[in-house]
Amino acid sequence: MNRDCNFYICATCFNVSETPITCHDQSMIHCRSLQPGDPRLKPLFDHEGDLKTSAPRWFIESLKQQQQI
């Protein structure tokens, strides 16, 4: 059984693909397999413990990297 999760997701419409394609005029975010319990699977909280976004950290980090290019 292949348990590898390896796909690409569009940050705008959340369309997913197994190959890196362009969606909404931007390249899709690469989603690698993360181990259960990986902190990057959890959402971001600010320093007061309030939920900043329900998106997981790996998604936010990828989005930031993409915007810096």
Q: Which residues contribute to the site for Zn ion (CB under 5 A)?
A: 10, 12-13, 15, 23-24
CB of 44 to Zn ion, least distance (A): 22
CB nearer to Zn ion: pick between 27 and 34: 27
CB nearer to Zn ion: pick between 24 and 42: 24
C-alpha angle with apex 22: 13 to 11, nearest 5 degrees? 30
CB nearer to Zn ion: pick between 6 and 17: 17
Collect all residues with Cβ–Cβ distance below 8 Å to 12 and sequence separation of at least 6: 23, 24, 26
